[in-house]
Each structure stands twice: as structure tokens, then as C-alpha cells.
Structure 1
Amino acid sequence: MWRQWSRLLPRIVPTIGDSLANKLYLIVLYTKSLFFNIHVDSGYIADTLLEPMFWFVDNFTHILGPVFVISVITLLVVFVLIAYVVGLSYWWPTNKLVTYIALVIGHWLLINVSYHYYMAYTTLPGHPPEDQLMAEVVSFCKRCIAPKSARTHHCSVCNRCILKMDHHCPWLNNCIGHYNHRYFFMFMVYTWLGTIFVMIFGFQIAYEHFWPPVETESQSDLKLSNSTIISIDSLNYWKHKCIIFEGLTTIGIFVALGALMAYHSLLITRGETCIERHINKKETKRLSQIGKKFINPYDFGPRDNWRRFLGLNRPGKWLNVLIPSTFQPNGDGITWLTNNNFRQKL
């Protein structure tokens, strides 16, 4: 009997083992089938993990928008007041000609900064028409349940589709799109130039404040009352704080805004928006894998891209850039001229 079992045991054990392995394999397979999704990849997983952050941005950016706007206005007012009080009190007795030049340039910059910020804040970026058919429809917005034209994207903060959407700017509490893109860019340009203006006319003030000239004997022999000394010390204390604040703010804005302006300048040179930049990069990579080259249909070349964006192809030309201008951008934001059509019309 033992001999018979000893012969059958090597056959039975593998059979039982194979049966358990098959059942375990089926259980794992059935479990995986419940969660199977052909679209799951690293990008899908990353989007899922970042969903809480997207939810926070969508729900709180619009609420915090007015706070950001008030912060920008407050910072601008304080910045200008310090430039007036400290700058004028130094340059007027030092050199009146420099004071006149600084007042002319400074007010020109201030008017342009204020105007372009106001226009970028109050001007609607443009939305697809809801009560009429569009001439060109390239996709359908699942959130708005409405057709979308070329270069139109849905803003999750505004909860609307935006014509030629670039991005949603919390500092303006507004989307940057077809009708206010130029105002936004010109606000950055004039604000950045304003920091250079402050650095040029404020360098000597800061230098003499932190490294004052040596007093002469006649100046040191002057007798001042205690009240006069206290008032001078108090003024010097606040002047010191204002100069430090103005200097740090100027350098910070110069670097941060300069980098942002350089990035948007690159986009304008290429005939792209922020959103299109990411889309075009993916398309370039996809087409390069199959041996094709991506061509941006809205790129007319650097020179023509800038002319069309700044309005240099219209009457007035440089006046549209140097002084506040309300000229409307080219087109209606729905139908777009492409570089192929542009070359055919030349």
C-alpha cells in the first residue's frame, strides 16, 4: 500500500499545486479586471493625485482675487508715495533739472502702469457667442456644453470659455484672453521699466544714505536743541525703513516681473499663448516620433507677430505703445487667420 501511495504522491502534489496556482491567478485576474482602465498611465495617476490642489485653485482663486487686486493697488500707492517723498526731498535741492526730468518720465510711466492695469482688470477677455452660430467650430466644451472656436479654452476659475485664453491671472482677478492680452503685457512692461526708473534715480539716494559723506567741522559744531535732534532721528528712522522697503521691493519686482515678461515675450515672438505653448510642445514631440515637423499655424514670424500684437500695423503705430491706447486687437477672436492664408494674401 505504501509503495502505491509513494508512486501516486509525486503526481497528486503537483496537480494540487497547479490547481491552487490557477485559482490564485484567476482571483488576481478578476480583481484587476474590476479596476482595469486602458487610459491609466503616469500622467493619469499624477492628475488624480493633484486633483485636491486643482480643486483648491478652482474654488479659492476666484475668492482670493479681490484680495490680490487690493494688494497690488496698495503696493503701487505705497511705492509711488515713497518715491515722491524721499525722491523729491533729495533731488529738488540737489539738482532741479534732474528733478524735472524725473517728474516727466516718472509720471509718463505711472500713467501707463495705472491705465494698463485698469484696462486689463476691467476688460473682458472675450467669450464665444451664446446666441448665434459660430463660423468655425473646432471642438466642444463638455463643461459649458457649447461649441468652441479655435484657440478657445475653458477657464475652471471663471467657469467660462475664453477666446484665445492665455491664463487666469489672480493679480487681476481676470482671465487673460483675446481682448485684454495686450493690456496685461503692457502693464508688465511699464511696471518693469518703472523699477529701472526707481533704481536709476534712487541709487545715489541709497548710496548716500548708507554711506553718508564725512561732515565738515563747521557742520559738526552746529548746536541743535533736544527736540530738533529727536525729530531728525525720527525722520531718519522712517526714511531708513522706506529706503529699505523701496529697494527690496524694486529688486524683487525687477527680477520676478522681468522673468515673467521675458517668458511672455518669447510666447508672442512664437505666436503662442501659455496654453498653446504646452499643447504645441506635446504635438512637436508626437510628430517628431513619426518623422514629421509641427508648424504653428498662428506664427507669422517674429516681426509680424509683434506688429500684430502691439498694433504697429495700424494707423498711429508707436502711439499705440507709448501712450494709453484703446485700439482693439486684430479679428474677433473666433475666426483666425493662419500663416498659410496669410502667405497666400501677400
Structure 2
Amino acid sequence: MKKLFKRIASVVLLSIMVVSLIACSSDSDDTNDSGESSSSLPKEINFGILRVPNDETLAIAEGLFDKYFTEKGIKCNFIVFDSGVDANKALASGSIDFATMGNTNSIVALSRDIDVEVVWIHEVLGEIEGLAVKNGLGIDKVQDLSGKKIATPFASTSHYILLNVLKEAGIDDKVQLLDMKTAEIVAAWERGDIQGAYTWQPSLGELLKDGEVIVSSKEMAEKGYITANVAVARKKFTNKYPDLVADFISCLTEAADMYRQNPEKAAAIVAEELGITPEDALLQMQGSTWHTREELLSEDYFGTSEAPGNFATIMKDTSDFLQEQESIESSPSQEEFNKYVNPLYIQKSLEKAPK
């Protein structure tokens, strides 16, 4: 009886070993080209995007997300948001993993303890964003806006710049500001409900059909009021999949390199994706500055984990201003912003790049 028990135990033990070896072999073989186990990857990633001519739009149009994610068995979902306000709600609920938004809305996210971090700067805003006024109203300078109705999406980069424009002109308490989404701004403009608006392309282009820009974000950037469209990601995602965040940055970098190498071709691709003319697309793309990974890791922007860059300081200064304007209840500390603007994933993307 004891011999029979030993034989049964031996057979069971051998079976367990065989199953374990098969499982290990399966785990070893089930990897993608970058060495990641497919079982450890998410089934899908949700990206919150803006319909603007940037590196992300170009990457989507060129199918680069397929190269970096779909080929790994990951489905990419792209959800369009008109501004960062709704994107922040989606981030807070966990329904999206990444979101593109103005840096002011990313400040709102941090101030409200939404568990995200800044991982990329798509573009530093310039002439792509501006204060447009209607023709024929005798508005030639900012001071002429006194008593007028001006629209902008609140808590956006446009809102931040507009407040500073009015403050510098000494009329910040003499203008009626209206909170509108970009599509609402165009409709209100056409009805004659507003005399001016601070907004970005492509809605800005619609206003310029019978209006003109009297101040642009490029002019304000030269005065130190820098704004940008940034990519934020949920920390629950970044902590679990840091390599995928690096892949996201590599994807955007490849698209941006296409633009740098052939602006006209890139503009044509973006134009078809957004339903605008290639000329308008190129004009809008040239109205902002697209930086390389190396440039973003400089002291002017992300810096390093040990020596945070100047962009974190700009974010803090902007945050303090937003608190003064009661756009946010409290302004996070400089230390919080230093951690929030995280260079880790750009560094990792560079490390993974072919030598």
C-alpha cells in the first residue's frame, strides 16, 4: 500500500512539473518584439485628444499608433474633447488613460488631486492662439475692449493669457468675460453676441474671416506668459506601464520628425484628417513650436528628476495667478509641480530609441 501511495505521489509530482514547464514555456514565448509579455499588457488604451494640427493628430492619421500599440495586441481608442475641462472629468473617473490639454487645465487637474502627471509637451503655443476682434467696430487696441463682451473657454490657456492681456491694459474689471466652448464662440460671433474672443485654431480661423488678431500668444510668450498643450497620463497607468508611456512619446516623436523633415507633406496629412485645407494646416502648425525630446529634457522645460526644469516654475507661476483669479481654490506647491512635470518617460523613450 505504501509503495502504491509513493507511485501515485510520484506521478502527481511529475504531472505538476510538466504543467509548470509548459506554463513557463508559454509565458516565455508570449512576448512582443520589445520583450514585454503580452499577458502583462492592457487590452486597450483610451486617449483623450484635441482636434488640432499637432504631433498626436499626425501620428493618428499616419497609423503610427498601430506600430507602437496595435501590433502588441493593444486596441487604441481616441476620444475627442473640446477642452481640458471635460478631459479632466474623464481622467478623474478613470475612463481615459492619456489626455491632451492646455497646461492651465493640467494645473486644474493637480489642484483638484486628480492622480495624473505631465509626460509630454505637444507644442508651445504661439500664433495658433490669439485675441480676435470683429472688423468695423473700431477696436484697434486692447484698451478699446472696455465695455465689450469677450468670450473664451474658462480655465484654458486662452483664458489665462486673456486675463493677463486685460490686466496689463488696466481694463480687467471693465470687460464682460463669457465662458464658451470653441464651437459656441464661433456661433456667438456669427450672431453678433460678442465683440471679441480669445481662442485657438481652428475656431480662431473662423473668426478671422471677418475679424483680426490684436494680440497673440506668441507676443505674450515673449513677455514671459508661456502656454502649451501638454499630455497628461493617469499615474495608475504610468506606474504600471512605464514602457508604454515611453512608446507613446516615441510615437509622437516619430510624427514630429516627419513634420520637421517635410512640413508641407505633414500638413497635407493633417489637413485630410481634420477636414481643413493644407494651407490652413501648415499655417496652424507653424503657429506653435514643436520641441524634440532632447530639447524638452533641457533646463528650459522638463529638466531632470534631480534638477527640475523651468517649465515646472512656469506652471507654479501660472497656478498662483489662477488662484488669484479664483479659477482654482488653491495653488499646489513648487515641490508638487517639480514632481508633476515628470521627465522619466521622455528619458526612457530616448533610451529605447535605436542607436
TM > 0.5: no
User: RCO (CA 8 Å, sep 6+): is it higher in 1 or 2?
Assistant: 2
Greater share of strand: 2
TM-score with structure 2 setting the length: 0.23
